[in-house]
Structure 1
Amino acid sequence: MLTALLFDLDGTLTDTDTLHLQAFRQLLHDHDGRELTQAQFDAQVSGRSNGELFAELFPHADKAQCQALAERKEALFRELAPELKPLPGLLNLLDHARAWDIGMCVVTNAPRLNAEHMLAAMGLQSRFEHVLVADELARPKPDPLPYLTGLQRLEAVAGEALAFEDSLPGVAAASGAGIFTVGIATTQAPERLIEAGAKLVVKDFNDPRLWELIEAMHG
């Protein structure tokens, strides 16, 4: 039985990594002239929460300085993303879930301002019962806590849920919570998502294998 769908946001509901890369590049260049390659971004930045990430990127900055830098980077991102397109097939899946009374939740490492901005930029701000922001919890992804919290909010159990993730920390978090995790191959190679714990990897929400899985879970 399928009773819950839990979604990451960046790179899962919409493909935003290019915009985040641009914002990070501008921040680092303006701050100390540093460069950031696509490979560095994919390996060290994508999918991580700002708390630990900015402490790592700016080891000589104190907590308040790191917070200010993070806020500046996210403001740059929002400026770059006035409108966003949902990933192909997403709207059909959301409609299907509503028709079948399946609970839906966003579980993201993004700050709340970003999460609210992105959902509004896609016109999806009213489609999810809960929007869980990992920085508001005790531990962010890759810890399973955000997904365990999502299950709790939806009053669902892991065996009756699907999670959708594009990042390695996100896949680790969702699979660590015991949820069948579908990797969305927008930012990582399929084999890396499988290694991190994804049970199925698709390009987008139109993949027939995803719909076969959903039908099987409906019983």
Structure 2
Amino acid sequence: MLQEVGYNGGEPITEEFFAKNISGGHNDDLARFLFPDWDHKTAMKFMDDKEAMFRRLAAEKLKPVEGLHKLCRWIEDRRLKRAAVTNAPRANAELMISILGLSDFFEVLVVGSECERAKPFPDPYLKALKLIGASSDHTFVFEDSASGIKAGVAAGMPVVGLRTRNPEGMLLDAGAALLIGDFEDPKLWAALEEDERRAAAAGGA
């Protein structure tokens, strides 16, 4: 779509440019960044069209990250509270959650544009904590973008960074406490087991 409107002289943007400037961003901010010379209403129309295209593609191509449903069962078995927090438009988020079979899994869905400030600010995560009645001291976050990681860290929570698309260095620089390739990553399960052991020891003390 950027090529169609002549962005970057009609040349495709690079993966690096996407990771650094677009991934995890909020559409209002992206519109101002990508099209500083455009009327904002026109730029936001482009963003709306982008999201509509995403929904069409997602309906056909969206697949769960490896190990997602295993992790969800682990969370459900322990009756942990959970929320989905995203900068994606609500329609996109609800579609993805539905396609992945997680409509009954998440207790709440918090959308960045419905908060005072979207990610990378902590507002969406702070709102989620309030809605599910959880403390940042006993909560952790999964994120796949630098913007999301910064938001989780700013809200006072450790963040597990997913290396599904963005460069490791960028995720670490944003503050990720742990990097995993997917939800089957042995590092994740070792960390969860260690956390359970610590909780059990603290409970017995």
Equivalents in 2 of 1:163, 1:186: separation in Å?
Answer: 15
Q: Secondary structure at the match of 2:141?
A: strand
2:133 and 2:177 map into 1 onto residues whose CA distance is 23
Displacement after TM superposition at 1:88 (Å): 0.9
Deviations 1:74-101 (A, max 9, x none): 1111122214211111101111111111
Tell me how far apart the structure 2 counterparts of residues 109 and 85 of structure 1 sit (CA, whole Å). Answer: 19
Between 1 and 2, higher relative CO (CA 8 Å, sep ≥ 6) is seen in: 1
Structure 1 unaligned regions, length at least 5: 1-26
Deviations 1:88-119 (A, max 9, x none): 11101111111111011111010111111111
Q: For the Cα contact (< 8 Å) 1:159–1:180, is it kept in 2?
A: no
Matched, 1:123 2:97: no
Structure 1 Cα separation of the partners of residues 172 and 30 of structure 2:
24
Alignment deviations for residues 1-23 of structure 1 (CA, whole Å, 9 cap, x no partner): xxxxxxxxxxxxxxxxxxxxxxx
Residue 162 of structure 2, aligned match among 184, 187, 192 = 184
Paired letter, 1:28: L
**For this pair of structures, how many residues does the alignment match?**
193
Aligned equivalents of 1:125, 1:62: Cα separation in 2: 37
Matching residue within 9, 28, 38 for 1:61: 38
Q: Percent identity?
A: 38
Give the Cα separation in 2 of the matches to 1:169 and 1:191.
Answer: 14
SS in 2 for 1:51: helix
Query: 2:178 is matched with which residue?
Result: 200
- Give how far 1:163 is off: 0.2
Which structure's CA Rg is the greater one? 2
- Give the gaps of 5 or more residues in structure 2: 200-205
For the Cα contact (< 8 Å) 1:139–1:146, is it kept in 2? yes
Measure, in 2, the Cα distance between the counterparts of 1:65 and 1:117: 25
TM-score w.r.t. length of structure 2: 0.89
Q: After TM superposition, list the pairs within 5 Å mapping 1:38-187 onto structure 2.
A: 38-83=15-60, 84-187=62-165
Distance 1:75 1:155 in 2: 33
Distance in 2, matches of 1:200 and 1:62, equals 41
